Amino acid sequence: MRPSAPTDRPARRTRLRAVWWQALLAGALLSTGWNAGAADPAPAPETIRQVLDRSARTRLDGYAQHQVDPAHSALIRADLERIFNQLAHRPDIELLVVDGPFHAETLAGRMLVVSASLAALPEGERLFILAHEVGHAVMGHWGELGDLYTRLIPGEVRPEVTDAVAPQLGREASNLVHGHEYAADAYAWQILRSLGYGMDSVMAALQVVPGMGDTPTHPATRKRYARLRMLGENDLRSAALKNPD
């Protein structure tokens, strides 16, 4: 097969993004029983928000079955409280600490899910990762992504509709969530500075998954670090923090 010429790369990345987001949506539909077998009763029509919300609940139910070391869970909860104490208003966020390899995400807009392995990291790295997820919740990123899905799939979810919008969804969703990652990084950096940590902790946290390049949901690590360096050490703190300068 002929290697792609440089001018082919943007189109190839667009196709890959479309395939990834289409697969993600298909996984959500399957996990909620939307694509049930012919022998099963036909499910009630759903909107895309209902599908995504039920998919998140299904994932949370699976996570909740994993038991973790109470000491690890207590440490992570204490870290989260330190972050909350830096904010002018306590956000409506719940924490679920789960067993398994390193993992951190915010589901359904308010449930922060992290693996107990986070407890093994140095304090500054733990705080940055947790603050990053808090940023996603506080800035309403789940709702913004839901708005995008709803705009492209405004009515009942049907295969012919989702298949038709997959390329556009791939482009727009990746652009949106890449922006979310940069924003959550900046939010976490503000929190980390208010707690007395420096950019070295940020860089170490971003390298927990080393050598990560661009994916449909995350910009490359080097891009995230470069964006944070552009913010500098002396820019104004977020208005969400207590007593901003």
Provide the residue ranges of all domains of the chain, joining segments of one domain with +: 20-27+44-231
Q: Which residue has the higher pLDDT, 196 or 231?
A: 196
**CA atoms of 178 and 198, how far apart (whole Å):** 24
Using the predicted structure, report yes or no on whether residue 177 has a pLDDT greater than 50.
yes
User: What average pLDDT score do residues 191-201 get?
Assistant: 94
Using the predicted structure, report yes or no on whether residue 231 has a pLDDT greater than 80.
no
Using the predicted structure, report yes or no on whether residue 15 has a pLDDT greater than 70.
no
193 pLDDT band, cuts 50/70/90, is very high
pLDDT of 56 reads: 86
* Residue percentage of the chain with pLDDT more than 70: 75
pLDDT of 12 reads: 53
176 strand-pairing partners = none
Using the predicted structure, report yes or no on whether residue 159 has a pLDDT greater than 90.
no
pLDDT of 61 reads: 82
pLDDT of 99 reads: 86
pLDDT of 233 reads: 53
User: What average pLDDT score do residues 218-227 get?
Assistant: 91
Using the predicted structure, report yes or no on whether residue 86 has a pLDDT greater than 60.
yes
pLDDT of 38 reads: 42
